Amino acid sequence: MGRLAYVNGRYVPHAQAMVHVEDRGYQFADGVYEVVPVIDGVLIDEEPHLDRLGYSLGELRIAWPVSRNVLKLILRELVRRNGLRRGIVYFQVTRGVAPRDHKFPAKVKSALVVTTKRMNPPSEAMLRDGVAVSSQPDIRWTRRDIKSLSLLPNILAKQAATEAKAFEAWLVGPDGTVTEGSSTNAWIVKNGAVITYPKSHDILGGITRLSLLELVQKTGVTLVERGFTLKEALEADEAFLTSSSAFLLPVTSIDGQNIGNGKPGPISEKLRAIYLENVARQIGAAK
């Protein structure tokens, strides 16, 4: 059987997975989403992802479409039915279906869609050479902590980066500070200290970022949560990015300029290894 999707209570063939034209996600991007990595069929960091979903829903006053426990069952069931070993499970919740009107509908049931996607691990070349980043202006709204479906500025930045032959865009605020990537968190290493933007309304609090921060704290590597400028990033010893799909990838150039010696740095490689050990532990515990 082909790939299935879950749409509002039903498992349906992916190619026929549809929502109503008046779903507020479709018309207003009035909804939120999560992306959870799946390795060896195991959902990695599932609980913090569900915590963040609850936070995003709460901030927008959207009701859980099903209880947290039922949602966990649905995620597992779709991963199982699709035989997904490695990839991601994507789920989004919108405010629901109602006649188009900006204000919240009086009576509406939130809508849930879940899909899965197979994904290969990052290529050998990406790990060996690192990836290129292109700086782009951060033109987003001021509540980036909410994992909103509304991603136009992120899409435009990623497209501009792609056209500049870069893997990711690093978003730069008017004061020259790098907030994060278009779909990843941004990090630099300078004089042995690991630096990343503090958790706030200015960035999406990445789950990979959160896990890595906890792991870094145990290693004795110095950690500083503060903004860094694009200039500082260009002069850094190392740089890297994190996300649920990439985990941790070394960044070896920004706007065509090498970072450090232009090769993945030792701290980035060490942190990637530590992160992967944590993933392996979760897989072991789930089996």
Active site (catalytic) residues: 147
Q: The tokens of 247 are what?
A: 């985990």
Closest to ligand PDD by CB, 97 vs 154, is: 154
Q: Least separation, in Å, of the C-beta of 185 and ligand PDD?
A: 5
Closest to ligand PDD by CB, 153 vs 260, is: 153
Closest to ligand PDD by CB, 98 vs 247, is: 247
Q: Least separation, in Å, of the C-beta of 255 and ligand PDD?
A: 20
- Contacts for 118 with CB less than 8 Å, ≥ 6 apart: 84, 85, 86, 87
Bridge partners, residue 196, by sequence: 187, 225
Q: Least separation, in Å, of the C-beta of 240 and ligand PDD?
A: 13
Q: The tokens of 143 are what?
A: 């509540």
Distance CA 157, CA 168 (A): 8
Q: Where do runs of H (alpha helix) occur along the chain?
A: 24-28, 46-60, 68-81, 124-129, 152-163, 207-219, 230-234, 266-286
Closest to ligand PDD by CB, 98 vs 170, is: 170
- What type of residue sits at position 210? L
Helix (H, G, I), strand (E, B) or coil at 264: coil
Q: Least separation, in Å, of the C-beta of 10 and ligand PDD?
A: 24
Measure Cα distances from 60 to 33, 55, 63, 108 in Å: 12, 9, 9, 14
Binding residues vs ligand PDD (CB under 6 A): 35, 154, 180, 183-185, 204, 206-209, 242-245
Closest to ligand PDD by CB, 48 vs 105, is: 48
Closest to ligand PDD by CB, 181 vs 260, is: 181
Instruction: With CA atoms as reference, report the closest residue to 167 among 88, 254, 63, 103.
Output: 254
CB 63 within 8 A of CB 96: no
Per-residue DSSP letter, 255: T
Q: Least separation, in Å, of the C-beta of 169 and ligand PDD?
A: 10
- How far is C-alpha 116 from the geometric centre of its chain's CA atoms? 15
Bridge partners, residue 236, by sequence: none
Q: Least separation, in Å, of the C-beta of 89 and ligand PDD?
A: 11
Cα torsion through 197, 220, 212, 231, rounded to 10: 30
Distance CA 151, CA 153 (A): 6
